[in-house]
Amino acid sequence: MHLILFLFFGGICVAGAVNLLVQRHPINSALSLVVVMASLAGEYLLLGAEFVAAIQVIVYAGAIMVLFIFTIMLLNAGEEERSKGSRVALLLGVPGVAIGGVLVAWTLLRRSSTASVGMFALPGDPRAIARLLFHDFLLPFEVTSVLILIAIMGAVVLASKPEAIARPSTAEPAPREVRELVAPGRQR
């Protein structure tokens, strides 16, 4: 049972991943990535990590991928055109990846033949996770919140229109009401 479900979700996953490679339009790739993430959420559930599965769907598929799709729509990305690629990437990279993958697979198959996992093996309820998160991993938790803050600021700065940040002096003067707010009482 476990195996069947695993193979089911795993198949969808691999199919989505391959589809991402094959598709020419980025929007198709994005959608197949969503499929991958959803199936991964299923895998997590299979192992009993319900919290992780939930946030996988909410954060990854629901937020990050949406961001991707927004960007694709914003930039009006079209089909990929043919262009001269890099020989190095093909000559070195692909064999490298292949070799690396084969090696890892071989190692895994050799070694961890005795290890096994059971269905719903994990204690993945939110309470347990929360206890861990806010006790042992409190510092990383707080640091990541700062990280997100920085990421937000960075994204805003990077993606905004250049004139509004770089040359405020050449921008239009603010309307009267705003000026009143900024410097009340000044006679001007």
Partner 1 sequence: MMIPLSCYLILSGILFTCGVLGFLIKRNIITIFMSIELMLNGVNLSFVAFAAQWHALSGQIFVFFVMVVAAAEAAVGLAIIIAVYRTRETLNVDQVNLLKL
Partner 2 sequence: MTQNPYLWLIPVLPLAGAAINGAFGRRSSKKAITTIALAFCGAAFLLALKIALGFSSAAAPYYFDLAPWIRAGNFQADFSFYLDQLSLVMLLVVTGVGFLIHIYSVGYMLDDDGYYRFMSYLNLFMFFMLTLVLAKNYLLMFIGWEGVGLASYLLIGFWFTKDSAAAAGKKAFIVNRIGDFGFLIALFLIIQHFGSLDFTRVFAAVQPLQPELAGTGLLTSIGLLLMVGAAGKSAQIPLYVWLPDAMEGPTPVSALIHAATMVTAGVYMVARSHVIFTHAPGALTVVAVIGTLTALFAATIGIAQTDIKKVLAYSTVSQLGYMFMACGVAAFSAGIFHLMTHAFFKGLLFLAAGSVIHGVGGEQDMRKMGGLRHYMPWTFWTMTIATFAIAGIPPLAGFFSKDEILWMAYISPHGSWAFWSIGVVTAFITSFYMFRLWFMTFFGEYRGRPVIHDVTHQSADAQAMHAKGDQHGHGHGEPHESPWVMLGPLVILAVLSFVGGWVNIHHRFDVFLSPVFSTHAAFSQLKALTTQEVAQIEARDRLELAFTVISVAAGFLGLLLAWLLYHKRRDLPGKIAANLGDFYRAVANKYYVDELYAALFVKPLLEGSTAILWKGVDQGVIDASVNNAAFSARHVSENVRHMQSGNLRSYAGWVAAGGAVLIAYMVWMGVR
Residues that bind partner 2 (CB under 8 A): 85-97, 99-100, 103-104, 106-107
Q: Specify whether the CB–CB gap between 17 and 31 falls below 8 A.
A: no
Choices 142-150, 164-172, 176-184; region in contact with partner 1 by CB under 8 A: 142-150
Q: Which does 51 bind (CB under 5 to 8 A by kind): partner 2, partner 1, none?
A: partner 1
Q: Specify whether the CB–CB gap between 28 and 19 falls below 8 A.
A: yes
Q: Which does 47 bind (CB under 5 to 8 A by kind): partner 2, partner 1, none?
A: partner 1
Site for partner 1 in 102-121 (CB under 8 A): 104-105, 108-109, 112-113, 115-119, 121
Using CB under 8 A as the binding rule, whether residue 2 contacts partner 1 is answered as: yes
- Angle CA(61)–CA(67)–CA(68) in degrees, nearest 5? 85
Return the exposure string of 114-124: e unless at least 16 CB atoms fall within 10 Å of the residue's CB, then b. Answer: eeeeeeeebeb
Return the residue of 38, 42, 47, 57 that touches partner 1, per CB under 8 A. 47
Q: Which does 112 bind (CB under 5 to 8 A by kind): partner 1, partner 2, none?
A: partner 1
- Give residue 55's Cα distance to chain centre: 12
Name which of 67 and 174 has its Cβ closer to partner 1: 67
Question: To which H or E segment does residue 65 belong?
Answer: helix 65-75
